[in-house]
Amino acid sequence: MRLSISLFVVFLAGFNTLHASEVNVPDEKMLVQEARVLIKGYAGQLKSALVQSMKMDGAAAAIDVCARLSPEIAFALGEGSPWTIGRTSLKARNSASEPDEWEHSIMEIFLQRQKNGEKLATIDHYEMTEKNTVFRYMKAIPTGNLCLTCHGDNVAPDIKKRIADYYPDDMATGFKADDMRGAFTLQKILSE
């Protein structure tokens, strides 16, 4: 009797996994975890490169590092995986980081959520899109004091000049501490 019950359990377990893979139910909790781990890596690498170059060579030189490293690190993290990782903003510095329609609307919602009392650092959003084939995740990026050197409303003239050389259409100044500077934006292609 015991044998037949355990056989039945094994059968059920097998049936469940088969069933799950057949209909391809995405595990959203798992995807959110993956996205958060990627963001931790990206934010950590960016910040340490930024702090180090500001300390060693000053903020104007750190612009070069930001311009070169931020897309490079993002690319390296996503390379060879189904993930794409990047940053976007309602007031972008790099026009390549302009939001698409979906990202734009999510950031508007983030601003509203902040107004309603949520802490910006904990605001995020995820959604299955494209008929459950693309998972998208966004996480708000708060402006810290360190960021004001290059994104605040009192940017020093030498830094301003360097920024304008790289980004003639820069919109990313005038921020105050705790403003939403932008958001991390990630996508994972789930199946073809």
Shortest spacing between CB 103 and ligand HEC, in angstroms: 11
Which of 100/192 has CB closer to ligand HEC? Answer: 100
Identified binder of ligand HEC from the candidate list 31, 38, 59, 186, rule CB under 6 A: 59
CB-count exposure of residue 146 (10 Å: 0-12, 13-18, 19+): middle
Only one of the segments 15-23, 59-67, 117-125, 127-135 lies at the binding site for ligand HEC (rule: CB under 6 A); that segment is: 59-67
Which of 44/144 has CB closer to ligand HEC? Answer: 144
Helix (H, G, I), strand (E, B) or coil at 25: coil
Identified binder of ligand HEC from the candidate list 42, 70, 99, 120, rule CB under 6 A: 70
Shortest spacing between CB 87 and ligand HEC, in angstroms: 4
Identified binder of ligand HEC from the candidate list 125, 149, 156, 178, rule CB under 6 A: 149
For residue 123, how far is the Cα from the chain centroid? Answer: 12
Identified binder of ligand HEC from the candidate list 35, 84, 89, 139, rule CB under 6 A: 89
Four-point Cα dihedral 166, 158, 160, 41, nearest 10 = 70
Residue with tokens 């934006």: 185
Contact 71, 42 (CB under 8 A): no
User: How does DSSP assign 148-191, residue by residue?
Assistant: HHHHSS---HHHHHHHHHH-TT-------TTSEEEEEEEEEE--
Cα–Cα distance, 151 to 115 (Å, whole number): 21
Considering only residues 90-119, where is the footprint of ligand HEC by CB under 6 A? Answer: 92-94, 97
- Residue ranges in contact with ligand HEC by CB under 6 A: 50, 54, 59, 62-63, 66-67, 70-71, 87, 89, 92-94, 97, 141, 143-144, 146-147, 149-151, 172, 181-182
